[in-house]
Structure 1
Amino acid sequence: MKILLVEDEEAIRGFVRINLKRADMEPIEAGSAEQALRLVAEQGPPDIALLDIMLPGLSGLELCSALREAYPEMGIIMLTAKSQEQDKIEALELGADDYIQKPFSPGELMARIRSLQRRMNIGAWRGPAPAAVAAATAPSAAAPAPASAPASAAVRSGEPFRLAPGDRRLWKHDREIVLTPTEWSLVKLLLDRRGQSVSRDEILSEVWGRYYVGDLKVVDVNIRRIRQKVEDDPSEPAIIETVWGFGYRWNRSDPG
């Protein structure tokens, strides 16, 4: 598994590198966002990116946004300092799957990577051509129309949504909704339990792992991101309902 490690402090980079290699992972190192973009353009996308938020030049948040736009299925974990509370939320809103707070132990680092790995089909994708990363930082062009939902027996239907678990793809009517690995896991959990209220604690355990030690806000931010993609009016959600003081529920009637 290829891991892009973007960290400008050599001591931290060396610590992470050693532990990745011990776990039979292949680290690709960069000391800046600009260097990371060049490496990805030359070598293609990694499976997972570990991005420090505080970088010289382009910030880790800007790098996260560029990589997420170019490679929706890439796993992204942010490395944050304790005081960067707003940065954690912004990173999640930009598409990060998770964050690890410094200082962290080798055990926590590997647990977060393995948890994200379970939410991904590692090796089953390689994304678009490497030039897509450079394009993600340029002025946006019209996006190509996503593929229509296939009439496959493997596709489960809960109108107007169609779910293809084998391909990890989701459509609303005939429009494909592109999801990150974490968004996919969360959507599948709620769709599998349509009409049932699922607590934040259960979502955290099922999606991020039983021993996840992060904040519950990671659930709320991901729900907000998903609503932007599936709701007709995200400010008045009718598909993913909030169960106040408890969690969330996918509306069985699937309005829209």
Structure 2
Amino acid sequence: MAHILLFEDNLSIPYSNKGFIDEAINDHDLVIVGDAPAMWTALQHRQADILIVDLGTPDDYGQGIVTHMQENYPGTGLLVLTHGDQQDLRSQGLLLGADQILTKPVSASKLAAHVVALYRRIKRHRNIVAVPSPQWRLRTTERQLQVNESLPVDLTEKEFNFLQLLTSSSHPIARDTLNREMRIDITGDERRDTKKIDMLIYRLRRKVKKSLRVDLPVRNAYGTGYSLTAKLKQI
């Protein structure tokens, strides 16, 4: 069964794309959202095979979505619907990593054909590259991070506290909560305070990539905060 997430930012026309998909694809479940926060929340709670984004405004908003999907959900197929005056978005979106960009109006049969073809390609790719999930461990006594049986990497106190906080919640933890719990100095300047936690995580990502040769299993929840993308076991 294909798990499809549909983001339409203009719901004044009731779910026209939903009708196209329901008519042409039998074995699927479809979730519809009308704004970006709801879309990111849906993706965090359940992996989508395909995200269809119907953009109604010719600005760089769509490019931000494509970039974030490529960085944080590379296993999800991305199909973007644009309007005729969004040719720049079409070209840039393909370069940034969208799988398909279709110009509206698009027929039900054409939309369905692209969805089916994209889903088949995703399933085939998953079957080819399927590998065991990395086993992450947070060593509390030594204050270290380890993946599988590799040599662990030493963590600073704040890096360790950050990862330990993420293990305590299945939902993203807001930056201000992280700042408070990790006792990061607060200046009162929201932009500056946000940059402090972001820089700490940026350095931690580089350290893990260099030492463990894998990406840190932490996701930026698009303005909400940070969450884990894999189980992190404390030992």
| SS of 1:100 mapped into structure 2 | strand
CA distance 1:58–1:84, change in 2 (3 Å): closer
Paired position in structure 2 for 1:108: 110
Q: CA deviation at 1:55?
A: 5.8
Aligned with residue 38 of structure 2, among 35, 40, 43: 35
Structure with higher Rg: it is: 2
Aligned with residue 46 of structure 1, among 45, 48, 51: 48
Q: Does structure 2 conserve the Cα–Cα contact (< 8 Å) formed by 1:20 and 1:26?
A: no
Paired position in structure 2 for 1:160: none
Q: Which runs of 5+ in 2 are unaligned?
A: 135-169, 176-196, 215-235
The reply on whether 1:5 has 2:3 as its aligned counterpart is no
Q: Does structure 2 conserve the Cα–Cα contact (< 8 Å) formed by 1:34 and 1:58?
A: no
Q: Does structure 2 conserve the Cα–Cα contact (< 8 Å) formed by 1:46 and 1:74?
A: yes
CA distance 1:90–1:56, change in 2 (3 Å): closer
Q: Distance in 1 between matches of 2:14 and 2:106?
A: 13
Once the two structures are superposed, residues 186-206 of structure 1 have per-residue CA deviations (whole angstroms, 9 ceiling, x without a partner) of: xxxxxxxxxxxxxxxxxxxxx
TM-score w.r.t. the length of structure 2 is 0.51
Aligned with residue 76 of structure 1, among 62, 75, 78: 78
| SS of 2:122 mapped into structure 1 | coil
Once the two structures are superposed, residues 77-125 of structure 1 have per-residue CA deviations (whole angstroms, 9 ceiling, x without a partner) of: 1111111111111111221001111011000001111121221117868
One-letter code aligned to 1:30? V
| SS of 1:3 mapped into structure 2 | strand
Aligned with residue 99 of structure 2, among 91, 97, 100: 97
Q: CA deviation at 1:73?
A: 1.7
Q: What is the aligned-residue RMSD (CA, Å)?
A: 3.8
CA distance 1:19–1:54, change in 2 (3 Å): closer
Q: CA deviation at 1:34?
A: 1.9
Q: Does structure 1 conserve the Cα–Cα contact (< 8 Å) formed by 2:83 and 2:103?
A: yes
Paired position in structure 2 for 1:187: none
| SS of 1:50 mapped into structure 2 | strand
Q: CA deviation at 1:12?
A: 5.2
Q: Distance in 1 between matches of 2:90 and 2:59?
A: 19
Q: Distance in 1 between matches of 2:11 and 2:34?
A: 8
Paired position in structure 2 for 1:117: 119
CA distance 1:83–1:58, change in 2 (3 Å): closer
| SS of 1:9 mapped into structure 2 | coil
Counting only pairs closer than 5 Å after superposition, residues 1-256 of structure 1 correspond to structure 2 as 1-10=2-11, 14-22=15-23, 23-24=25-26, 25-41=28-44, 43-54=45-56, 59-121=61-123, 139=198, 141=202, 142=205, 144-145=208-209
Q: Distance in 1 between matches of 2:14 and 2:73?
A: 24
CA distance 1:57–1:44, change in 2 (3 Å): farther
Q: Does structure 2 conserve the Cα–Cα contact (< 8 Å) formed by 1:80 and 1:88?
A: yes
Q: Distance in 1 between matches of 2:46 and 2:71?
A: 15
The structure richer in helix per residue is 2
Q: Which runs of 5+ in 1 are unaligned?
A: 149-174, 177-256
One-letter code aligned to 1:20? I
Q: Does structure 2 conserve the Cα–Cα contact (< 8 Å) formed by 1:33 and 1:58?
A: no
Q: Distance in 2 between matches of 1:61 and 1:47?
A: 20
Q: CA deviation at 1:14?
A: 1.4
Q: Does structure 2 conserve the Cα–Cα contact (< 8 Å) formed by 1:51 and 1:64?
A: no
